[in-house]
A and B are shown apart, each in its own frame.
Chain A
Amino acid sequence: MSRHTINFTLNGRPVTADVGTHQNLTEVLQESFGLFGARESCGQGLCGCCTVLIDGAAVTSCLALAAFADGSDVQTVEGLADGEELSPEQEAFIEIGAFQCGYCTPGFVLMTRQLLDENPDPDDDEIKHYLSGNLCRCGAYPEIVQAVRLAGEKRRAR
């Protein structure tokens, strides 16, 4: 079978898709669901622009076979905000100005989500450790570290 029907939860809603075995998850999120927040850039799992959360854990969606999403809980950056209310991570990135072109930003925001889920009060070393697999070509790393700290504060205050 080179095509599979997969059922999974996407940003909190149950969904179904007919996917080719050769399709990666980034492609299916874009072409079947119109979600472009996860985007392929380096294509090799190094830049993190295609980051999504699968069952709460950050994954390189351009290197994930879409067929493997069957039965899982997939969250993309589009699912972080509650209506018009941004998540603490998103708010923090805006308030610090932790991006320039914004292409890598969804990946950094989602890595921040996994980090703060696992460690609500990380120090800078821990922040860098979690973000070391994401690249920002605009070089906003100093601001990104600040934004993660602020996101932690915001979450602890909520």
Chain B
Amino acid sequence: MAETSTTTVGQSYGRLEGHAKVTGRADYIYNLRLPSMLHAKIHRSPIGHGRINSIDVSAAAAMPGVHMVVTGEDVKTVLPEPYYGPAFHDQPILALDKVRHFGEPVAAVLAADPHIAERAARLIVVDYEELPAVYDEIEALDSEAIVHEELKPAGTFADLKHLSGRRDTNVALDFHLRLGDADKAFAEAVHVFEHTFRTQQTMHTPFEPIVAIADVTHDRAIIHSSTQSPSFVRYELSRLLGWPESNVRVRTGHLGGGFGAKVYVKVEALALALSMLAHRPVRVAQTMEEQFYTITKHPSTFRIRSAVDDDGRIVGRKCEVWWNGGAYADIGPRVTQKSGFTAAGPYDIENIDIDSFALYTNRPPAGALRGFGIPQLVWAYESHTDIIARELGIDPIVFRKRNILRDGRPQAVGTIVKDGEFEPVLDETARRLGWDRPYDKGEGAKRRGRGVAIGFKASISPTTSSAIVSVNADGSVIVYCSTVDMGQGSDTAMAQIAAEVLDIPLDRIRVVNPDTDVTPYDMSTLGSRSTFHMGHAVRLAAADAKEKLVAMAEEVGMPEGSNAPLPELFIKKFGMRAGTIVGTANFKPDYAPTDPETGLSPNATPFWMIGATGAEVEVDTETGQFTILRMINVCDVGKPINPAVVETQLSGAAVMQLGFTTTERMILENGQLTNPSLADYKVPGIFDMPVIMENGMIEAEQHNGPFGAKGAGESGTFGVSPAIANAIEDAVGVRIAEMPITAEAIFRALRAKDGAPLEED
């Protein structure tokens, strides 16, 4: 699309729902109550893996005020095949026969008073036969503990059609990519480097916890949910019910954060089953604690090897990545595949082998979390890349630039890069850091260092977004789309796009909250796909409406190009203020599937997301404690629809990744999660912020984007973790290879370097 001047697009309007948010009136589903509604409280597994011998619900059922107690067997009476999941139908609504992770839902208590339901849920007694369990992704490869005896591929999504799983193993998916001849490159290489990096299990902790209310009557299921995926939830529940999708209505409000925790089915299927059994509306509202048992971010192990020539060119890279998907696959297979093909980093390397494995373990399930696996990969490849540069005595920026991907070159997956601002992003990061200036590295116990890292991500493809734009007789406009605004500002962006196309002021546009009875299909709000995909759908639907308005003007005899106000046009046509003009559009970008043998595709993604971080740290060598003096996040953001909102996305993403880098970690002991609360799982607070934080946006036209825009909600996460690790090495000469980076880990590394390792206890 040619660059055109815009008036509404490109402006930093405040969020449309700002007034509602500062007055406490925003419509979160967590606030919703329905007449005659029951509250559900869940009894959960206290072990990691076990066979259920019996469930005794008698004491709970006998408690005054308890309406009903429900087990997995009860669910089967209304939903005979009660398994769900976007990749595999592997997750039971309530445990059947087996529990596969600590915190798995086993039974539910319904009561009008949530306090009573909660107390009764504690009275349920379950007899388990404990089974051998596996918690580590490497051990899961050849463990005797098998999490799933049988796997049922879902076959829902075009990009996951090939899934089968491997019987009698814990491998849900393995993805392989072969480019060039990596073995030959390694055999001939002057330098070969090998490192292994690990990441920990973390959780999204959206502050509005996961919630759904189901209200089912004989041929109608209405689900009010804090979902990021209303269309998928409708699809999946209609499949479970065997009903047409038109009988299932899924609606949402504004979300109090999502970050990937609320994609696909979370508690909606349980709420559905409970409402069917109770014949009443049922609310399943998680607590913060329960979210930790529901969905998490993959722990990972990444062994990366590089072959480098004497000029500092990376000539070959071999990547083996093991993703710890927990007990249910959720969308882990897509993480394995989509992230898999970028595992070699944003570098122009001729010979690449990638092997990426999604593994089942007995941890709480892992799925998508802001970046879809990319931050785990960047942690490894940018730490590795930095180590190589240092060992070869090449400046880390120079080394990266010598190898960086550029437009017109194929990325590892075989897709030619277009509109990927890799080098400008790196240059801007270096410029803001003042990389060329001498740096005071401190003295005594306080040592300073700086580091950079750059990562990238492909958009999820192929996916579809649909939109409706209707023009009222007074000239005001309503946008119907199923993109969920969970804080990223999508409502505002979609309104700006419609306003731009129709040339009307923003305050005459309303964006309807997703409601599958009303708003058309959208694949899901995830992976930074909405601005691009739904942005196009809204743009095209608005253009469709505009064409109809032009035709109507012609029909009523208004001169071509006349700027008569819309109300006049409607009155001329309908004799009064009446009628509606409706524009519609479906949008799906081109895509070529990856070859099952080589993993290659000439068109794997419609656009690339690129983000870099520069960090300056100060390390207290007496304690290992470190302060981030400066954190600079620079991203390729395309042409932003709303620059101010995009900037808060960059900065917020970086802050979130800072938590995953330094403070956040789910701790399992004997399979039991010991810290499922904000008291012991520490998300960053205001005193954990870098002393100085800067955001830089490389604004560059995305040729095929709506008004040149592209997604940017995750890009700010990419570089954070390795940039900090690289800065720490620069400061004190130790390398941290496992996240999170803690003061104790640094202290121990310092002591080991000094030949006086600290005892282990």
- Using a CB–CB distance below 8 Å, which chain A residues touch chain B? 20, 22, 30, 35-39, 41-44, 46-47, 49, 76-78, 80-81, 86, 90, 93-95, 97, 99-106, 109, 128, 131-135, 137-145
Distance of A140 Cα from B650 Cα, bound (Å)? 10
Closest A residue to B13 using CB positions: A97
Contact A137 B257 (CB under 8 A): yes
Count of CB-CB pairs between chains A and B under 8 Å: 153
Q: How far is the CB of A144 from chain B (nearest CB, A)?
A: 8
Q: How far is the CB of A41 from chain B (nearest CB, A)?
A: 4
Using A44-B678, A94-B18, A135-B683 as known contacts, say yes or no to A78 and B652 having CB atoms under 8 A apart: no
A10 CA to B685 CA in the complex, in Å?
30
Q: Which of B22, B23, B115, B656 contacts A137 (CB 8 A)?
A: B656
Which of chain A's residues have a CB closer than 8 A to the CB of B254? Answer: 101-102
Is the C-beta of B486 less than 8 angstroms from some C-beta in chain A?
yes
Task: Indicate if B325 sits at the interface (CB-CB under 8 A).
Answer: no
Q: How far is the CB of A130 from chain B (nearest CB, A)?
A: 9
Residue of A nearest to B688 (CB): A141
Contacts A/B (CB < 8 Å), 6 sampled: A20-B115, A44-B679, A93-B18, A94-B22, A140-B648, A143-B648
Q: A44-B678, A94-B18, A105-B21 are in contact. List 12 more A-B contacts (CB 8 A).
A: A36-B24, A37-B24, A43-B289, A46-B679, A47-B678, A95-B14, A99-B18, A101-B257, A104-B207, A105-B24, A132-B687, A139-B655
Question: What 0/1 readout, one digit per residue, does chain B (1-29) give for beta carbons within 8 Å of chain A?
Answer: 00000000000001101111111111010
Whole-angstrom CA separation of A101 from B652 in the bound complex: 11
A95 to B14, CA, bound (A): 7
Please determine whether A141 and B686 come into contact, CB atoms closer than 8 angstroms. yes
Residue B489 is within 8 A (CB to CB) of chain A in the complex: yes
CB distance from A7 to the nearest CB of B (A): 23
**Interface residue ranges of B576-623 to A (CB < 8 Å):** none
Closest B residue to A102 by beta carbon equals: B21
A49's partner among B207, B259, B287 (CB-CB below 8 A) is B207
B-chain residues with CB within 8 Å of residue A143 when the two chains form the complex: 648, 651
B30 contacts A97, CB within 8 Å?
no
Ranked 8 nearest A-B pairs via Cβ: A37-B24, A139-B655, A101-B487, A103-B256, A102-B21, A100-B487, A139-B652, A77-B24
How far, in Å, is B478 (CB) from chain A's closest CB? 22
Interfacial residues, chain B to chain A (CB-CB below 8 A): 14-15, 17-26, 28, 30-31, 115, 205-209, 254-259, 287-289, 486-489, 644-645, 648-649, 651-656, 658, 677-679, 683-687, 689, 693
- Decide if B257 touches A138 in the complex (CB within 8 Å): yes
Cβ–Cβ contact B24 & A47, under 8 A? no
Contact (Cβ within 8 A) A100 B23: no
Main DSSP-derived SS at the A contact region: loop
CB-CB nearest in chain B for A100: B487
Other-chain contact of A101, B255, B655, B687, B693 (Cβ < 8 Å): B255
CA distance A107 to B207 in the complex (A): 12
A30 / chain B contacts, CB cutoff of 8 Å: 31
B683 touches A137 (CB 8 A): yes
* B630 CB to nearest A CB, Å: 13
Contacts of B658 in A (CB 8 A): 139
In whole Å, how far is B247's beta carbon from the nearest beta carbon of chain A? 30
Q: Which residue of B lies closest to A103 (CB)?
A: B256
Enumerate chain A residues within 8 angstroms of B288, measured Cβ to Cβ: 41-44
Q: Complex formed: what's the CA distance from A132 to B19 in Å? A: 24
| CB neighbours of B256 from chain A (8 A) | 41, 101-103
Task: Tell me the complex Cα distance, A135–B678, Å.
Answer: 10
Contact of A86 with B686 at beta-carbon distance under 8 Å, contacts A44-B678, A140-B652 already known: no
Closest to B679 in A: A44
Q: Is the CB of A90 within 8 A of B23?
A: yes
Query: What residues of A have a CB within 8 angstroms of the CB of B654 in the complex?
Result: 139
- Minimum distance in angstroms from A33 CB to a CB of chain B: 12
Known: A77-B24, A95-B14, A140-B648. A101 touches B689 (CB 8 A): no
| Contact present for B651 and A142 (CB under 8 Å) | yes
A138 touches B487 (CB 8 A): yes
The distance in angstroms between the C-alpha atoms of A78 and B488, with both chains bound, is 24
| Distance between Cα atoms of A132 and B689 in the complex (Å) | 11
* In contact, A78 and B25 (Cβ under 8 angstroms): yes
Is there an interface contact between A102 and B487, defined as CB atoms closer than 8 Å? yes
Q: Is the CB of B207 within 8 A of A103?
A: yes
Question: From A109, which residue of chain B is reached at the shortest CB distance?
Answer: B22
Q: Which residues from B are CB-within-8-Å of A77?
A: 22-24
User: A43 with B287: in contact, given A97-B645, A101-B486, A104-B207 (CB under 8 Å)?
Assistant: yes
CA distance A20 to B114 in the complex (A): 13
